[in-house]
Structures are given as structure tokens and as C-alpha cells.
Amino acid sequence: MSLSKRVEDARRAFAKRDLEAAREAHTLERIVRTARREHIEEHGGAGHAYIGDMVYGGLDGIVTTFAVVSGVAGAQLGVHVLLILGLANLFADGFSMATGAYLSARAEREYYERELARERWEVEHMPEAERAELYEIYLQQGYTQEDAQRLVEIKTRDPELWVKAMMVEELGLLPDERKPFYSALATFGAFVLAGAVPLLIYLAGLVVAIPTEVRFPVAAGLSALALFGLGAAKVFVTHLNSLRSGLEMLVVGGLAASVAYGVGVLLRGLGV
């Protein structure tokens, strides 16, 4: 979900233990304004729900493609072999990831809808049992008997809100706003676009003269920049430190490329 500026300010204040800044982020005016704006965005079909698909699809794309480039470069198999393997990997793995994203999102949605239908049926046909269940849940969460009873009375006034409360409190389920097709499309697009970065210098070499010895270093440099950028972009999903996230992904991608390059050198040495 999108991260409001108010919450960003609150997190920065907490990181610095700045009480004054934290109070500023929690003024009633800002809370109300933020809640209204996010309500409008949520019902306006904003594409923030697919940021995770794009970030992780792009990261997988660049890591796997650069690993192929590194392996072929280490084995010194030639530009045409590199492009064939790189492009084949790019589109085949991208399609595979997109299919996985589609099936995963669809399965999650179907599971949620099935449980939602069950909870609606139980609320309609066994309301007292559902009230008792919700009451026990609140007791287990540490509420007093009086507070738990009050919460149950509030939550069960509206049948739809009651069902949603059961979904969250009993099952720990929240609705996934992503559409499976768009999730797959976001994953595939990000995978292909980011995964093409290591191949750009080799594709350019088909059109203009580029010295062979500089192609792999340029591909490595471009890939490193893209890895760091996408790693830093994970903060839209994880909300962690962007510098640390970027460096972690750079290290992980570098290790994967190093292993692939080493395998290529080994196979070249064996005469394969």
C-alpha cells in the first residue's frame, strides 16, 4: 500500500527519537487529512498495489540475466551466444515469473473469497456462536471481560463489519486489492525491462562498433547501478532503510554474478 507522508514523517521522528516531530506528525488535522486522502486513493484504483510485483520482478530479472551474461563472458563463448542465452532467459523466466505471480494472486484471492463466504454464512446462521468466538479472541488478546464484551457489541452491530472483523481477528486475513492479470503484467514488464539492462551494451554492439574488452565491464557497471536502484526501491514495500536495502541487493546480485562467472571460467578451462 502507499505510504503517506505523515507516516513517513512519523517513522523518521521515531528513528531520531524526536518527540516534537512525532507530535507534529500526529496532529488531529494531519491524521484526518491523511485518512481522507488515502480513502480516496484506495477507492480510486491507484496502482500502488503493484509496486511490490514490479520491484521484485525487476530484481529477479536483472540478477538472473546478469548471471547468464557473467557465465557466458567467463566462458568466452561469444556475443551471439550471450545474446541468444540472455534473451531466451529474459523472456522465458519473465513469462514463468508472471505466470507464478498470476496463479499466486488468484489463489490468494480465491482463498479469501471462500473464507469470506464461510464467515458470512456463519454470522447469518450461527450469530451467537460467532459472538462468543469473537469475545474469546478479544479475551486472549488481553482485553478485560467488560472491554471484550463492549468490543463485540460494537463490531457486531453491522453484519458486513462483523464479517470483516472475523476475517481479521479469527483468520488474520486482509483483502488483496491486486488483480491477478495486472499483477502478472507488472511482474513481466519489470522483469523484462530491468533484465534487459545487462544486455544493452551487447545489443548496442550490433549497431555501433564497441570494443569487446569494455562490454562486460560496462554491463557490470550498468547492472550494479540498476541493482542498487531497485534494491533501494524496495523501501516502497518493506519501508526499511533505502541505502542498506540497495547495498544488500548489490551484494546479493554481485555474488550471483561471481558464481556464474566462476562456473563459466571453470567450464572454459575444462575445454567445454
Please indicate, yes or no, whether residues 34 and 95 belong to a single structural domain of this protein.
no
Q: What pLDDT is recorded for position 45?
A: 43
Residues 8 and 102 in one domain: no
Amino acid at 268: R
- DSSP secondary structure of 149-189: HHHHHHHTSSHHHHHHHHHHHTT--------HHHHHHHHHH
Q: Clarify whether residues 101 and 37 are in a common domain.
A: no
| 117 shares a domain with 107 | yes
CA dist., res. 192 & res. 64, Å (int): 11
The domain containing residue 19 runs over which residues?
1-44
Q: Do 7 and 110 fall within a single domain?
A: no
Regarding whether 231 and 170 lie in a shared domain, the answer is yes
Task: Specify whether 154 is located in the same domain as 265.
Answer: yes
Tell me, what amino acid is at 36? R
d(CA 179, CA 79): 39
User: Per the confidence metrics, is the pTM higher than 0.75?
Assistant: no
CB 223 within 8 A of CB 213: no
62 Cβ neighbours under 8 A, 6+ residues apart: 194, 195, 197, 198, 223, 226, 227, 230, 253
Per-residue pLDDT of the chain (272 residues; tens, 9 = 90+): 334 566 667 667 777 777 787 677 667 566 555 554 544 344 444 446 677 788 888 888 888 888 888 888 888 888 888 899 999 999 999 999 999 989 988 898 888 898 888 888 988 888 888 888 888 888 888 889 999 899 989 888 888 888 888 888 888 888 777 788 888 999 999 899 988 998 999 899 888 888 888 888 898 888 888 888 877 776 666 666 778 877 887 888 778 778 877 877 777 766 54
HEC-encoded secondary structure of 53-96 = HHHHHHHHHHHHHHHHHHHHHHHCCCHHHHHHHHHHHHHHHHHH
Q: Are residues 137 and 172 in the same domain?
A: yes
Task: Report CA 15 to chain centroid distance, whole Å.
Answer: 23
Give the count of domains, the chain.
Answer: 2
Q: pLDDT at position 140, please?
A: 86
What pLDDT shows up at residue 25? Answer: 66
pLDDT recorded at residue 34: 56
Same domain, 39 and 49: no
3 and 104 within one domain: no
- Phi and psi of 18, rounded to 5°? -95, 100
109 lies in the same domain as 172? yes
**238, 112, 118, 91: which is closest to 178 by C-alpha?**
112
Q: Please check whether residues 155 and 22 belong to one and the same domain.
A: no
